[in-house]
Amino acid sequence: MKLLGLTGNIACGKSTVASLLRDRGAGVLDADLLVHELYSDTDFATQVATLFGKDVLNSLGMIDRTALGKIVFSDANALRRLELLVHPAVGKLREEKLAELAARPEPPQVVILEAVKLLESGQGRDCHVVWCVRCQPETQLQRLMEIRGLSKDEAQKRLDSQPSYEAKLQLAQEQDVPLVFIENDGTPEELQERIGVLWSELQSAVAV
């Protein structure tokens, strides 16, 4: 199996791209879903509560993502502390999921590893190539407000916490993985056409 890294800052459309690739037969591992699984684990939640206090837990002892988000998206140091805990745990869970995919009678040729901070967490090293979906900040802000129901201030805080594309490019070079930027300010049809071309190119490379 070949690993295709799929990244992009919040509200740029990487989940849409992942869905298009799933329709083409790729396996998909969504790091956000892996984090959800971790956050539902009460033992892991206890570790997070040790860092940020019991107010980040819900009545079931699992992590309240909204409460935690209010802390880490307004404090860069808090976000870094959280990532130091989350990234290794997600990496371990990811390897377990990959092993399950590989054990299928007909495993997918390509598995998509979707993560906002794919390169920042060092996961790019394991990828054949990394695709980065991006769009204008104004588009991101509008999507966060309309789709996720955030206030303008909350949405802007989320955007301000995102790494720059220049930093992503540098990390890709350090991890020796090709980085392809996919613009997503156009129509859904334009995005689908672009993904079709890139998928065909990837399939040709995998077949070699």
pLDDT of residue 25: 92
Residue 204 pLDDT exceeds 70: yes
Please provide residue 64's backbone torsions phi and psi, each rounded to the nearest 5 degrees: -90, 105
189 and 123 assigned to the same domain: yes
14 and 97 assigned to the same domain: no
19 and 49 assigned to the same domain: no
Residue 197 pLDDT exceeds 70: yes
pLDDT of residue 207: 65
42 and 78 assigned to the same domain: yes
CATH code (residue 124): 3.40.50.300
pLDDT of residue 162: 85
Radius of gyration of the CA atoms of the chain, in A = 17
Positive or negative: CA dihedral 34, 121, 117, 85: positive
C-alpha–C-alpha distance, residues 63 and 203, integer Å: 39
pLDDT of residue 117: 85
pLDDT of residue 190: 94
Q: To 5 degrees, how large is the angle CA 90–CA 31–CA 43?
A: 40
**pTM for this one?**
0.80
198 and 145 assigned to the same domain: yes
Question: Where residue 205 falls among pLDDT bands split at 50, 70, 90?
Answer: confident
What tens digit of pLDDT does each residue of 46-102 get? 999 999 999 999 999 999 999 999 999 889 899 999 999 998 898 889 899 999 999
Q: What is the mean pLDDT of the chain?
A: 91
What tens digit of pLDDT does each residue of 143-156 get? 899 888 888 998 89
Question: Where residue 31 falls among pLDDT bands split at 50, 70, 90?
Answer: confident
- Domain interval for residue 43: 32-107
Q: pLDDT: is 117 or 5 the higher one?
A: 5
pLDDT of residue 133: 97
pLDDT of residue 50: 95
Question: Where residue 208 falls among pLDDT bands split at 50, 70, 90?
Answer: low
Q: Write down which residue in 44, 76, 107 finishes a domain.
A: 107
pLDDT of residue 73: 86
Nearest to 130 by CA among 1, 3, 6: 6
Q: Write down which residue in 107, 139, 157 finishes a domain.
A: 107
38 and 100 assigned to the same domain: yes
The average pLDDT across 91-117 equals: 91
The average pLDDT across 176-191 equals: 94
pLDDT of residue 198: 94
C-alpha–C-alpha distance, residues 101 and 149, integer Å: 35
117 and 172 assigned to the same domain: yes
